[in-house]
Structure 1
């Protein structure tokens, strides 16, 4: 009889961390916390991004269509489709983003270069 695999299980999502990232063979998973003062400029990616809202509220615009997202909602940004977001409601938003196909090794890692701090309200 073969011994069962006794390798300890390591969860991807730790309860104490804010941001995590894993690269699989054909896709990436990016767990991110967007602070309440964050937004993005309009941008696009060569990969499809499927964003799952875990906490908080965000306003999204994808290909000219604007909508409000809250926990349980899913946002799909197809490859080469312009989109932007803004955290709303005063609380951070946690998202889980599936990126496919996986980016080139030099571009892999937590996304967020397009994220900016919103200007103070006037």
Structure 2
């Protein structure tokens, strides 16, 4: 695949990831929407953590989107996704739709980064079948 198209595809994936995280997770938490607090309560979180988690998510997203810190942002996001997965396991949520959702987001996030950053492609090369 042409490097130009790979880069553009990476920006598209990263942009879609960013929009999803902003709309589905960060915004409800930072805006104090009741659904965010209710969801956290259903998962067993005590009241008062919603805003802090929203700020952490926004910080990770900004780090991910800034080229000089994109790997740091991706690594921090994976830690956040791991915690979300642990919460879903503890809550007894379904495996493929809830528990593994962090893995799906992580693959999407790293896929966008891999496509748009040649240094990441060099670090994790794709080896085709010979």
Common fold, TM-score beyond 0.5? no
Higher strand share: 1
Higher helix share: 2
In the superposition, the TM-score normalised over structure 1's length comes to: 0.26
